[in-house]
Amino acid sequence: MPVVTTTQPEPELAADGMPRGQAVLDALVELLDLETLETNLFRGVSPPQSPTRVFGGQVAAQALVAAGRTVPDDREVHSLHAYFIRPGDPRIPIVYEAERVRDGRSFTTRRVLAIQRGEAIFSLSASFQLPQEGLEHSTPAPVDVPAPLTLPDLGQRVAEGRGAGWMSQIPRPLDMRFVDDPVWSDQRVSASEEPNRVWMRADGRLPDDRLLHVCLLTYASDLTLLGSVLARHDRPEQPAQMASLDHAMWFHRPFRADEWLLYTTFSPAASGARGLATGRFTTEDGTLIATTVQEGLVRVPR
């Protein structure tokens, strides 16, 4: 019998030569498809091109996948609360241990512990709910925001010499269009009291899997959130040491992560070498679909 071989399509290249597009997005989706080891026990890996420690959005998204695998399909995640305990090593797998805390009539609660070398590196609690009717209201839609396709993507920014921070060195499963210059940009040197805004969407088409879209948004929520702390201050001469300490999200309405979402972030407070950052995800028509809050370590060299 002849051997049939299949080849993965070549990824598109951004203006700066970095991989982007559907093939890169598919690789992220595969990364979130955890291996089942045993009941309530799963294993995930990090991509070959990783920072020196596991990206926080990755471990949060994978932990949420582990939680969702133990929940009936008719219940959707509405909130998560997580702590980053130790830096993760991207060279070795991560084991996710899910605990079935409660299965009620309307709500289901899960806890997940991410483990490497026998030690916890991350913990997550997530709550799932049956769809229900109730009161509805939302904050006003953002105003005077340029449309995403009128703004340069990350590859164009790098090609123009405007920088993309650590994201300039890795494949890009997300299409990100910054409304305001990010904190790592040479164009942004002075403090601002205004929020930071960036359009983002999965750079391709995703399956119709509600949990996957929520996990993709969880991944994306950690990319720029803590930078809003630095944005309140003049740019330091030396890079600041930054690390996520905890992370919380609330999902208000259904959405698709492969459609444009505006991420508006702002830091209301910083003290004790820690900064608090808040974020809101809104659709192109201004509907609020998710809220984020994170506290992070922010040490500025003396």
Q: Which residues are catalytic?
A: 222, 244, 294
Please name the helix (run of DSSP H) or strand (run of DSSP E) that holds residue 244, with its range, or none: strand 241-251
As a whole number of angstroms, the distance between CA 182 and CA 45 comes to 29
Q: 135: number of CA atoms within 13 Å, CB side? A: 2
Cβ atoms of 14 and 24 within 8 Å: the answer is no
3-class DSSP state for residue 200? strand
H/E stretch holding 265 reads strand 261-271
In order of 22, 62, 241, 259, the CA distances from 29 in angstroms are: 10, 10, 30, 16
Interatomic CA distance for residues 175 and 200, integer angstroms: 5
- Does residue 81 contact residue 246 with C-beta atoms inside 8 Å? yes
Q: Dihedral (C-alpha) 183, 188, 193, 198: value to the nearest 10 degrees?
A: -60
Report the run of H or E that residue 154 belongs to, with start and end: helix 154-159
* Six token digits for residue 90: 């991207």
Q: Give the end-to-end CA distance of the chain in Å, rounded to a whole number.
A: 68
d(CA 76, CA 36): 21
